[in-house]
Structure 1
Amino acid sequence: MDSVNVVWEQPTKREQPTERERAGVRRQVMDLFQLARPAHWIKNVLVVPIALVDLEVWSWSALERVAWSIVAFTLAAAVVYLVNDLVDRRLDRLHSGKSRRPIAAGRLSVTALVLYGAVLTGGLGLLFAFAPHGSSWPILGYLGLNLAYTAGLKHVPLIEMGAISGGFVLRVVQGYLATDVAASSWMLIAVFSGSLLLILGKRRYELVEVGVEHRPSLRGYSLEFLNHLLLLASVLCLAATLTYLATEAPIAPYRQEVLLISLPFVLYTLFRYLQVVLVQKEGGDPVRLLLRDRALIVSIGSWVCAIGALVLVTKVNSIHAIRLP
């Protein structure tokens, strides 16, 4: 009887394909994360808590509600970015920077986008279900405003900038609702005009450096027109900020001192921004500019520290005056 040699076949190695699959999954996860624009989360972190300035006594419950508002606005903004990138994918391919976005570059499947959208929407709904306070209409208003922006407002000159600035005002209003403080009208005007100033700088950069192909609304602007609007928004922002400090800010015992200290810092901050936009021809990414321009960071930081030191010294002197016989 002939012997039969049985040769066991070794299973084919799939190490390389598996590594490719893992790399692909990691890339998709990173692309989905980038869709949420993590660099822009700073908008919510800085703008929503502005209402704390008008809160005389901070409490853990107020801070908890503000933190909830920041997370909710971040998720709402992620939903908006997803919808906007889907709608604008063809126009984004005409932009040197936006063409590298995951959807414009075609790196994400439809299934991944649907699941991602469902997760974001479900997470936002879950946050609303466990909201620490009753009123959250600014977040719903933000979603509605941005859906209208994506549907057509973004193509209407001037209106499109007002819609974006309105989103920042809604962030501040949500902060006031979270802290249960009456909204300061001059603060809202200052935020609106300040955000409008940043958007104008971005539109100017796009008009000069990129062109109108990727953003049809730019056809309604000219360089001279945008320069005039920049100066107008700067004056409005300066007037609103100083009027807020002179009338509504909770600094009654030392209002005059705060005004005198604030004026040079506010002026320098505005002048520096206009210098960056008009002289250095930058401003295309306002978030990057505010986070990386050393002169702006030093100016704003010094302003906050100077006012904080004034308040601290005033309170210490008041305590000593009370203790003196």
Structure 2
Amino acid sequence: MTFLSEQTEPLRRGPTSRLPAPLELLRPGQWPKNLLVVPLSLLGADVDWGMVARVAVTTCAFVLASSLVYVVNDIADIERDRRHPVKRHRPLAAGRVGRRTAVALILLLAGLLAPVLLLSRPAAVWPVLLYLVVNAAYSWKLKHLPLLDVFIVATGFVLRLFGGYGAGGRPVAAWLVFTVLTLCLVLIVGKRRHELGVSGSGHRPALVGYSAHFLDLVLVLCSGLTVVGYLLFLRTESGYAAGALLTAPCALLALFRYLQIVVVQSEGGNPVRTLLRDGVMLTNSSLWAGLLLAFQLL
């Protein structure tokens, strides 16, 4: 299928979301990012219900904070999104939500976030606040700077992990933080590669600093670092038995499959959708999670 046929079909159909436009603006499809990352702080812990509850509160805080950030970004990018073949269907760019409604949503989210943070431990509050500050700087200018843009986005996931550790009252596992950072770089660079192939550098100014070949090199480097970091986490910080290294093939298969999707199939524009809808990814992730849970209970 040609590039033209891939892009003109969505344009004829228009938006396909069945969600109310204001709710769609909050990007509920991206909430699994928080559900997947924050609870990683429980790996290897002697978990009790109090710890689980505190981590759940922090997860809710990041859901609210990330939705607030999405609304702010959409307001900042409204004109640029209108020139994009897919993003022009977003609620603000398509005119299905007005600016005043978007600002009201920001105030509502901030009002909901405040009491959630008051219920959280201070060690879990500062990552959320820093996340908001970093993303404000990202929306203002940093997203236009090549390389820095991908590191800023990846930092948001590291802060989620720090929030989980703070909520659980546990020391941070440095190798897990490193693994999350490099894995997120893989996902974000894969997304940038897809954007570069679909719309060139016109929509996102930072893309002028990239080429497909350069991004492929970065993908390979970050993938290798992710595997090394994950193995070191299992061996030195996880508290699992040596048998947990049996999950290494799952990690490798997940990375290989994602690289196949990005490089061979020229997809990967929405990493969350890729991770949650691809059959190979889902099967592998289920096995991976089952093995980790088994070692957690041993």
TM-score, structure 1 normalization = 0.83
Match of 1:91 in 2: 80
Unaligned runs of 5+ in 2: 1-16
1:201 maps onto 2:190 in alignment? yes
Match of 1:258 in 2: 244
Runs in 1 of length 4+ with deviation above 6 angstroms? none
Q: CA deviation at 1:271?
A: 1.0
1:134 maps onto 2:119 in alignment? no
- Please give the residue correspondences for 1:226-305 in structure 2 after superposition, counting only pairs within 5 Å: 226-251=215-240, 254-255=241-242, 257-259=243-245, 261-305=246-290
Deviation per CA, 1:291-325: give whole Å up to 9, x if none: 0111111112112223444565xx4xxxxxxxxxx
* Cα separation, partners in 2 of 1:310 and 1:137, compared to 1, 3 Å: closer
Percent pairwise identity: 41
Match of 1:221 in 2: 210
Residues 27 and 67, structure 2, Cα contact 8 Å, conserved in 1: yes
Q: CA deviation at 1:267?
A: 1.4
TM-score, structure 2 normalization = 0.90
Deviation per CA, 1:174-232: give whole Å up to 9, x if none: 00001111000000000000011000110101111222111010000011100100000
Deviation per CA, 1:144-186: give whole Å up to 9, x if none: 0000000100000000000000000000000000111100000
Q: Distance in 2 between matches of 1:45 and 1:108?
A: 27
Deviation per CA, 1:229-285: give whole Å up to 9, x if none: 00001001011001111111111xx21x221x1222221111111111111111111
Task: Decide which of 34, 53, 58 is 1:69's aligned counterpart.
Answer: 58
Match of 2:11 in 1: none
Residues 55 and 179, structure 1, Cα contact 8 Å, conserved in 2: no
Q: Distance in 1 between matches of 2:86 and 2:101?
A: 23
Q: Which amino acid aligns with 1:102?
A: P
Q: Distance in 2 between matches of 1:132 and 1:45?
A: 17
Match of 1:36 in 2: 26
Q: Distance in 2 between matches of 1:81 and 1:308?
A: 33
SS in 1 for 2:139: helix
Match of 1:101 in 2: 90
Q: Distance in 2 between matches of 1:149 and 1:308?
A: 36
* Cα separation, partners in 2 of 1:100 and 1:143, compared to 1, 3 Å: same
Residues 55 and 167, structure 2, Cα contact 8 Å, conserved in 1: yes
Structure with bigger gyration radius: 1
SS in 2 for 1:104: helix
Count of paired positions? 280
